[in-house]
Amino acid sequence: MKNEYKITDYSNIGLPSVQVYGESFCYKDLYEFVGKHQFMTTFNLKSESSSSAKFGRSLTGVISYNYNEKKELANQSNPQNINYDNI
pLDDT in tens, 15-67: 877 788 888 888 788 888 777 777 778 888 888 888 889 999 998 888 888 88
Tell which residue, 36, 37, 32, 12, has the closest CA to residue 22.
Answer: 32
pLDDT at 87 over 80: no
Mean pLDDT of 65-81: 74
pTM: 0.59
Is the pLDDT at 84 greater than 70? The verdict is: no
8 to 12, 18, 59, 65, 71: CA distances (angstroms) = 10, 6, 19, 25, 28
pLDDT of residue 86: 41
pLDDT of residue 77: 63
Given a contact cutoff of 8 angstroms between Cβ atoms, the answer to whether 22 and 5 are in contact is yes
